[in-house]
Structure 1
Amino acid sequence: MLEDVTSSVVRVALKGLAQRQRVIADNIANIETPRFLAGRVQFEDALRTAVETGTSPREVAPEVARSLEPTRENGNNVNLDHETLSHMDTTLRYQTMLKALDSKYGMLRSVIRGGA
């Protein structure tokens, strides 16, 4: 399998975005759970640093941390508006990464076929 920096970055981004979608779903599912703290997934800064420093993007793993945002009376801090917007943003980013990967493979197919 051909593995270049671009493909590695896109794959790591897809992995991180998929993890974020799972965490968002978990947050929404627990919106009424007392003392539940919303999860947040971070990977973009680590991925950017890996690319800038020339280290392998494949070493980057998404990190899940609990939100430190203020809580409601029951100790829960899930905000449905925030989760909904985050879900839409993450979905659009995921689709963009899939299109980038598809374009990359489309170019490779074209080269293999001789540009026809």
Structure 2
Amino acid sequence: MLDSVVTVALTSALNSLSERQRAIANNIANINTPGYTAKRVMFEDALAASVKAGDGDVKATTLRSLEPTQLNGNNVNLDTETLSNVETTLRYQFAAQAVNGEFTSMRTALKTQ
């Protein structure tokens, strides 16, 4: 059961969301760094395809943002980063609760045997 597609997919999602949190933190830390290009972590489409294929194991891809830059070559937008941070935090909490539910179900199943 630890190798179920759901558990593997949730673990992949948690790892990818953690990577996104790090990218957001780096983006915010470099908001005034000339020439810094914001990073975007993508994994949702790959995860959906992997789950559909019966696997669920994916690695996130980090890309450079193509958003317009300021005069100093930096394209970090604090509003965008803040919204992304809130959304990522909520998704992480949801995935963590789902993993907890998976393990609670396993514990319950083991107790009844």
Q: Which residue of 2 aligns with 1:70?
A: 68
Q: Which structure 2 segments of 5+ residues have no match?
A: none
Q: Which residue of 2 aligns with 1:104?
A: 102
Could you say what secondary structure the match of 1:40 adopts? Answer: strand
For 1:27-63, what per-residue CA distance to the aligned partner results, in whole angstroms no more than 9, with x for missing partners? 0000000010000000000010111223x222x1100
TM-score, L = length of structure 1 = 0.94
Aligned residues: 113
Q: Which residue of 1 aligns with 2:41?
A: 41
Q: Residue type of the partner of 1:69? A: E
Could you say what secondary structure the match of 1:57 adopts? Answer: coil
Q: Residue type of the partner of 1:7? A: T
Could you say what secondary structure the match of 1:64 adopts? Answer: strand
Q: Which residue of 2 aligns with 1:12?
A: 12
State how far apart, in whole Å, the 2-side matches of 1:53 and 1:6 are.
12
1:71 deviates by 0.3
Segments of 4+ moved more than 3 angstroms = none
Q: Residue type of the partner of 1:48? A: A
Q: Residue type of the partner of 2:61? A: E
Q: Which structure 1 segments of 5+ residues have no match?
A: none
Q: Residue type of the partner of 1:57? A: G
